[in-house]
Amino acid sequence: MEKVIDALRADEKTIVDVRTPMEFMGGHVAGSINIPLMEIPERLAEFSSMKNIVLCCASGNRSGQATQFLMSNGIQCLNGGSWLTVNHLVSQLQNA
């Protein structure tokens, strides 16, 4: 989790929520972008310009799958787990 916190502290960071658009609309980390898990293979090129990528979803399962896929394609990223956890960490860092 320390690596995730370091990434979230960075000036340039990208929080990618891999849940469905409907789930994303129900609540998400402020400033995060929604790239559903099933769309990641076809949107791989978008990740190459991102820095300090932290992936999240509902529980950490889908973001874990996305992390493995992206890493196997040479894209450095971290699994932040649940979007609620990432949201909490972002809030703590903003208030620190």
Catalytic sites, residue numbers: 57
Cα distance between residue 78 and residue 80, in whole Å: 6
Cα distance between residue 27 and residue 84, in whole Å: 9
CA distances (Å), origin 37, targets 6, 22, 26, 67, 70: 24, 13, 17, 10, 11
